[in-house]
Amino acid sequence: MAATKGNIEPKKKTPAAKDEIVIHAKGLKKSFGDKEVLKNITFDLKRGENMVVLGKSGQGKSVTIQCVVGMLKPDGGDLEVFGEGVTQMSDEELKQLRIKIGFLFQSGALYDSMTVRENLEFPLTRVLKLKDQAEIDKKVEEVLDNVGLLDAIDKMPSDLSGGMRKRVGLARTLIVNPEIMLYDEPTTGLDPITSREISELILHMQQKYKTSSIIITHDLECARITADRIVVMNDGEYIAEGSWKELQKSDNELVKSFFIETT
């Protein structure tokens, strides 16, 4: 054996972080009664990537991400998050997994009887079980500052506009530092200017918090702003994939219809 002076340890091969897969889905199927909602969903989400799932309503987009967090169980296919099979997880394992996954629901509901500060303290005390008030205050202020809403810290949700509520919802999800973010229609119900601001904020937060995200939307502008990669979903399957520019040139009629409707 040839001894190498001063360098006995073999070099560990560390995969390039950007190629690491955080969610792996292969051939996912899900039916409700005789309605086949997911027919064959296959995708990989890489670390640090923003993947947009673009599709009209009722195509199974929300069902897909509910499977990812174990709220729904697929009938078939493989689903791994951080290399672990989600469908085989115990309730306790699912609980641990969900701490690492931020889920911004379509409604993005805040607790109406709590101030913005209290809404943000909630996940810190309930999920992370933090007790040190100075640490809690620091985290709340930091995340609010990041979403541009430090001024609103003592306001009630009812005093805020729709866009501001979305920002607080986003802050509440990000405050526990999730590794994966799942956004379900983040711009629905907002006017075009506010939609754009929220989309830009999602992009900014990806860079700031280094999250890997799935962004579900039927808003083409949101897809354009946030996506590293777009998959187009129709009738329980992914029918196209590419960057904004690639999809814009697609020959697929359904993909084309998205671009025609909104531009």
**Contact by Cβ (8 Å): 80, 24:** yes
Q: Which is nearer to Mg ion, 39 or 204 (CB)?
A: 39
What is the smallest separation between the CB atom of 207 and ligand ADP, expressed in angstroms? 27
What is the smallest separation between the CB atom of 143 and Mg ion, expressed in angstroms? 26
What is the smallest separation between the CB atom of 193 and ligand ADP, expressed in angstroms? 24
Q: Which is nearer to ligand ADP, 60 or 163 (CB)?
A: 60
What is the smallest separation between the CB atom of 166 and Mg ion, expressed in angstroms? 16
The residue ranges that bind Mg ion (CB under 5 A) are: 62
Dist CA 63 CA 74 (whole Å): 9
Q: Which is nearer to ligand ADP, 217 or 226 (CB)?
A: 217
60 binds, among ligand ADP, Mg ion, none (CB under 5 to 8 A by kind): ligand ADP
59 binds, among ligand ADP, Mg ion, none (CB under 5 to 8 A by kind): ligand ADP
| Tokens found for residue 27 | 């051939």
What is the smallest separation between the CB atom of 31 and ligand ADP, expressed in angstroms? 9
**Contact by Cβ (8 Å): 47, 224:** no
The residue ranges that bind ligand ADP (CB under 6 A) are: 32, 37, 55, 57-63
Q: Which is nearer to ligand ADP, 48 or 60 (CB)?
A: 60
Secondary structure string (H, E, C) spanning the chain: CCCCCCCCCCCCCCCCHHHCEEEEEEEEEEEECCEEEEEEEEEEEECCCEEEEECCCCCCHHHHHHHHCCCCCCCEEEEEECCEECCCCCHHHHHHHHHCEEEECCCCCCCCCCCHHHHHHHHHHHCCCCCCHHHHHHHHHHHHHHCCCHHHCCCCHHHCCHHHHHHHHHHHHHCCCCCEEEEECCCCCCCHHHHHHHHHHHHHHHHHHCCEEEEEECCHHHHHHHCCEEEEEECCEEEEEECHHHHHCCCCHHHHHHHHHHC
Q: Which is nearer to ligand ADP, 37 or 149 (CB)?
A: 37
Q: Which is nearer to Mg ion, 64 or 212 (CB)?
A: 64
119 binds, among Mg ion, ligand ADP, none (CB under 5 to 8 A by kind): none
37 binds, among ligand ADP, Mg ion, none (CB under 5 to 8 A by kind): ligand ADP
162 binds, among ligand ADP, Mg ion, none (CB under 5 to 8 A by kind): none
What is the smallest separation between the CB atom of 38 and Mg ion, expressed in angstroms? 13
223 binds, among ligand ADP, Mg ion, none (CB under 5 to 8 A by kind): none
| Tokens found for residue 148 | 């541009």
